[in-house]
Each structure stands twice: as structure tokens, then as C-alpha cells.
Structure 1
Amino acid sequence: MVNTDGASNGNPGPAGAGGVIRDAMGNWLGGFVVNIGTATAALAELWAIFHGLELAWKLGFRVVKLASDSQLAIQLIQDRQDPIHPYATLLGLVRRKLSQDWLVNLSHTYREGNRVADWLSKHSLVYPYGMHELVDPPLGVVPLIMDDLMGVTFERRVVANSPSSIS
């Protein structure tokens, strides 16, 4: 399982990406942070997916489930875009990576289910520019990993229309 996330402090602004690879039990197998420089949130999400796929391939995984909390990024990858789309080059890189000899399932997850990758993406800005592979998890993310291993759940609040506002 690969979880990825991108973050931008501003849109555009200082941006980074992060991700984690775990086994079926939730144990850390590897991770990464990427200080992108200045980018939009959507671009940071796409870079996170690209680097997550790169690391999974490098580590030898050939059956992969990748989850991102960016429905937009997943949709951009799955839709065939116009070649003049602003992200066309990066989308092409991601699609080329997906077309390699492996089985990859892209899916959307909510932010509550992506807390480790979210932490890594925000933490990426303390690293120098570029991609940094993490053999061991940074100390700050260990409590989140432990929560996942113990099955800690979180409520997701949804705003619903009141009956009086529905016509």
C-alpha cells in the first residue's frame, strides 16, 4: 500500500510531497519527502503520486494499491487530457510509470485515512529541495503510524442540509 499527499502553503506557494509504503499489516516499508519549491496544491499532489510510484517500483513491488486524498489528481491521471494541459508533462510521466509491467490500483482516500502521508508532505518543507528517500520513519510521524497499527478511527464530519432548507 502506497499513500501519498501533496501540500502547498499558498496556491501557488512553498510546496512539498510525501508518501509511505506499508505492508498489509501497516508496517513501514519505506517513505519519501520531496521539497518541490513553489507549486500549486494540485501539482504537489501529482508529484507525490509520481514519486510514490517511483519508490514502489524501485523497492520491487509489482502489485500496488496507491491511495491519495486528492480526487482531482486521481481524476487528472485517469482522464485523457489535452496535450496543452498545464500538467501534461507530469501527467505523461505518471501514465508512463503506470504502464510499466505491474498492477497498480489508484484510489481516493479521505484525509483522515492519509494522516501519515499528510504529515510527511507538510514535513517535506524542512528538507532541502529535491526528493529524499526515508528508510526509517521520522520520529514525529511514529505516533500516527502507531495509531494506524492499532486501528484508531476518526469521525468525519459532513455538513448536511437541514430539512427546512430542502425544497
Structure 2
Amino acid sequence: MQVSSQRTPTEIGWLPPLAGWDKMNVDGAANGSQGPAGAGDILRNAEGRWTGGFVCNLGSCSTILAELWGIYHGLGVAWQQGCRTLILETDSQMALQLIDKRTDPLHPHATLLAAIRRRIAQDWVVKLAHTYREGNRAADWLSKHSLVYPYGKYELTAPPQRIQHIIGDDCRGTTITRSIVRERLR
């Protein structure tokens, strides 16, 4: 048996959570390997309505560290908002893998990963999920927008005006075509 790979055009978009659940989309961004970095999160209910969010200017760090800080802060915002059934979605498979696997105590992000795991272990249900960037557009915008703020975390009571078209697209089920590699056994 051989495995073959082929690219398949696939429609990707944001999907609302089931009734009774909330969804937080998270993203981190850095300019360069250790450049100006930020994170952004958007929390929405099953109708796709904004219920919270934040931007965080992190100073300078790597993209993976920005993603992890976004997840950490996002879990805190969701908990404070009273969410007890949460889907946390990110476009970083690496961040999800780091959270899921046992981390060497000498890993450079071990302390932050342990803090994330403690937040997940609180008295609630948290499902971590991967999405592609096309399904994470609002969080992607917020993470990049975070760099216009001074250093620090800023909770947002309402979505910035310039992101409302993305939220509207998400609620309407707008998709973007992405070529995804699919493996098949032959």
C-alpha cells in the first residue's frame, strides 16, 4: 500500500458552536522570528454574536509564543465572561500539539504551557480545535491590530468598527476556498 497526496479545493469558513456553547477564536502574530508581536481573541455565542474579546501587544516574541499567550489570555477572558462550555479554536497546530503533549520542564515555554493546562482544568468543559486561517479571520485581524496599542492587554467591550464586516461574513457563512493536502491509501 502506498500513500498519495493530492491538493483538494475546500471551502473554509467560521462555524458557530452548538447551542449552549461559546466559541473563542485565538490568533497570535509576530513580524519576523522575534519581532513585534501580538495576540487577539474573539468570543462569540451560538448565534455568532460578539460576547467579548481582547487585543494584547506582547512586545517582541515568536509567533508560537504569541499564539500561546493568546490562548492563555483567551481562556481567562472566557472564564471571566461566565463561559462553562467553550470551544477554543486556533489556526496553530503547533500550539495545540504543545498543549496536548507532556512538556519537558526545561522547554522554553514550559511555565506558560503549565498555566494554560491549569486554566483548561478548571471546572468547565473546554474543547481545543484547529481551524485554518480562513476560519479564523476575525482573530487574525485582532492579533495584527493589537500592534497599534501600547504594550499590554486590552479587553474590548465591542468589536472594533473595522472588524464588523468579518464578523458579518462569518455569521452569513461566507467561505474562502483553500487548497488542502489530502492523503489517500492506494
Q: CA deviation at 1:157?
A: 2.2
Aligned residue for 1:94, secondary structure, equals helix
- TM-score, normalised on structure 2? 0.84
Q: Hey, what does 1:93 align to over in structure 2? A: 115
Q: Report the CA distance between 1:141 and its aligned residue.
A: 0.5
Q: Give the TM-score, by structure 1 length.
A: 0.94
In the other structure, the counterpart of 2:172 is: 150
Measured in 2, the distance between the counterparts of 1:158 and 1:136 equals 34
SS, match of residue 155 in structure 1: strand
> How many residues are matched?
161
**What percentage of residue pairs aligned between the two structures are identical?**
57
1:69 pairs, out of 75, 84, 91, with 91
Residue 2 (1) aligns with residue 24 (2): yes
- Divergent runs of 4+, >6 A: none
More strand by share: 2
1:1-167 matches, within 5 Å, as: 1-158=23-180
Higher RCO, Cα 8 Å, sep 6+: 2
Once superposed, what is the RMSD of the aligned Cα atoms? 1.3
CA distance 1:80–1:140, change in 2 (3 Å):
same
- Shift of the alpha carbon at 1:128? 1.0
Which string of whole-angstrom CA distances, capped at 9 and with x for unpartnered residues, describes residues 85-144 of structure 1?
000111011011111111100011100000000000000000111110001000111110
**Structure 1 spans left out of the alignment, 5+ residues:** 161-167
Higher percent of residues as helix: 1
What are the superposed Cα offsets for residues 40-89 of structure 1, whole Å, 9 maximum, x if unpaired?
A: 00000000101110000011111101000000001000101100000011
Instruction: Structure 2: give runs of 5+ residues left out of the alignment.
Output: 1-22
